[in-house]
Structure 1
Amino acid sequence: MGSTADPRTTTTEAPATVGGYELRERLGGRPPSTVVWRAVTRSTGAPVAVKQVQLAGLPARLRDSLDCEVRFLAAVSHPNIIRLIDVIQTQSCLYLVLELCEGGDLAAFIQRNGRVDEHVARNFMKQIRAGLQVLRRHHVVHRDLKPQNILLSSPSSDAILKISDFGLARVLRPGEYTDTVCGSCLYMAPEVMLFQKYNDKVDMWSVGAILFELLNGYPPFRGRSNVQVAALSLVRVVYGIWVLNPTVVLIAVFVSACLQLLQCINRSTSLPFSKPLLSSLHPDCVDMCTRLLCTNPVKRLSFQEFFNHGFFRV
């Protein structure tokens, strides 16, 4: 492995090296437990991304999910799944060397471009479908599908999409359920927020929320105020622990917003499409979005129903 130094946590300090990679700047992550770096391969200069995970104090369940992430990514090779290049472990950290996606994530794409045309949404959903098919073959439930975890090969609408960040993923075989509360609230299925047992259909809800946001430019269910929307966007629930952006201390606001989000979902008799947009969409598009965002998981589209839906044949 050679000489390895743990990287510093700010981008203003001298670059560090990990194995054969030189870390250049921080791209994101969830400090202090996880940081994602832009890096280069020292031997070739090829750009890569390096996900650094602090192992000290990592809860057992999160360690299990990390092991699931590594095993899954090491076992698959698919254009719509982020590619794992290398794994390096030091005494304090695990580093996943991943392909670098220069187009950023889908959330940034929507922020730059606003809502997309139906044919672009269909193309994006076909790619997400192809990636999810790989997850289903391996009985993996992602549990944190959202625009921030869908990466783009380029910033254009013809980019290749890649499902990333399997840090909350777990194996869940047919007929199995789990009840761990985790994910990102704006894209979290109601049964998770209600502390109910759930299966792989939680991913289908998240896909529906992503489709709705692609078509409208905003999530289907939001808090009543800008502060609540910000709290919902920044706070992630991981195994019953509130994990916040370090600059935000809004737990009380988050709890209130989460309750209002559930109330908003329960009160809705239809999805909040704008009327001009709704009239322009193909009925199969509206049907898919509506059935993916069904609050009753029994009636929600299964992956197979989603895979074979008529929207993909329009």
Structure 2
Amino acid sequence: MSQATGRGRVVGDYLVGRQIGSGSFSVVWHARHRVHGTEVAMKEIATGRLNKKLQESLMSEIFILKRINHPHIIRLHDIIEVPGKLHLILEYCKGGDLSMYIQRHGCVPEETAKHFMKQLGIDVWKILSFAAAGLQVLRDNNLIHRDLKPQNLLLCTDDDNAALKIADFGFARSLQPRGLAETLCGSPLYMAPEIMQLQKYDAKADLWSVGAILFQLVTGKTPFTGSNQIQLLQNIVKATELHFPPDAKILSADCKDLCQKLLRRNPVERLTFEEFFNHPFLSQTQPDQVFR
């Protein structure tokens, strides 16, 4: 139930505070539990404005978040429904998102980028390798996020050692092993070219996004640009190699090599998840050491 009090609006057991984000059909509020004082992020969705496809995306996100309990995946605490609105009560990350972090800090040292990549990459690998039903190892199913970008990566704190949380699973879907998806979705600057070209694609599409995020972290710029999506795709297609900014000379050979191998236009030539983890830039920590 949503109601107004002398101290502000209340939704269920939560006192709603300031707005901390917004989307086309949702607003995200900072809120506190009235009894425990726990800080949360309240995603308020105007369900009446959603078409059938967006309703399916919302149901997909809820389905996934209900089944994931992992330190680097945003936690869904509760769902509160009122007429015309659905409220997702989510874990609050006071460090903001990775996009805000890049805006504040510009390009980051390789060690910081490596710290974020290990968290992002290992968790994407974990989710994509197994179905996320209570993290049981069900090799029959995979999950593809399809919208990995700095805005969907939240930070618990605003420092170089912040824990990273993957958020916004509205575009995620199950993908059978060796299965291929063909829906156009995601954010163009981080979207794999096979998606933009309306080709069938698999989980490697997420690895392109990981490569674009890594490139932006260490250079402060996205790997490819364009005034619109068509020009962006043309720039990707005509590029014979990945060009780093002039001031990227300080980057290690391993860092550049990983960017180049993640941002291969042909997904067949792109790194696999296993190769990603065994790459020298990240190989100090293996997935098995993190998930025990």
Q: TM-score, normalised by structure 2?
A: 0.87
Conserved 8 A contact 2:146-2:172? yes
Q: Deviations over 1:13-47 (max 9, x none)?
A: x832221112112111213x111111111112221
Runs of 4+ in 1 over 6 A off after TM superposition: none
Opposite residue 118 of structure 2, the aligned amino acid is: K
Conserved 8 A contact 1:80-1:130? no
- Is 1:269 the counterpart of 2:240 in the alignment? yes
Counterparts of 2:79 and 2:119, CA distance in 1: 26
Q: Deviations over 1:163-222 (max 9, x none)?
A: 111111111121211211111111111111111111111111110000000010011111
- Within 5 Å, give how 1:231-250 maps onto structure 2: none
Counterparts of 2:92 and 2:10, CA distance in 1: 17
- In the other structure, the counterpart of 1:299 is 269
- In the other structure, the counterpart of 1:153 is 156
Pairwise CA distance, 1:61: 2.8
Pairwise CA distance, 1:276: 4.3
- In the other structure, the counterpart of 2:135 is none
Opposite residue 243 of structure 2, the aligned amino acid is: P
- Name structure 2 gaps, 5 residues minimum: 132-141, 285-292
Pairwise CA distance, 1:57: 4.1
Secondary structure at 1:313 match in 2: coil
Pairwise CA distance, 1:6: 7.5
Opposite residue 143 of structure 1, the aligned amino acid is: R
Q: TM-score, normalised by structure 1?
A: 0.82
Counterparts of 2:276 and 2:203, CA distance in 1: 13
- In the other structure, the counterpart of 1:134 is 126
Q: Deviations over 1:254-310 (max 9, x none)?
A: xxx2111112112222222124424x3232221211111111111112222223322
- In the other structure, the counterpart of 1:5 is 2
Pairwise CA distance, 1:64: 2.3
- In the other structure, the counterpart of 1:311 is 281
- In the other structure, the counterpart of 1:288 is 258
Count residues in correspondence: 272
Secondary structure at 1:56 match in 2: helix
- Name structure 1 gaps, 5 residues minimum: 8-13, 229-256
- Within 5 Å, give how 1:46-195 maps onto structure 2: 46-136=38-128, 137-138=130-131, 139-195=142-198
Conserved 8 A contact 1:81-1:162? yes
Percent same amino acid at aligned positions? Answer: 46
Secondary structure at 1:221 match in 2: coil
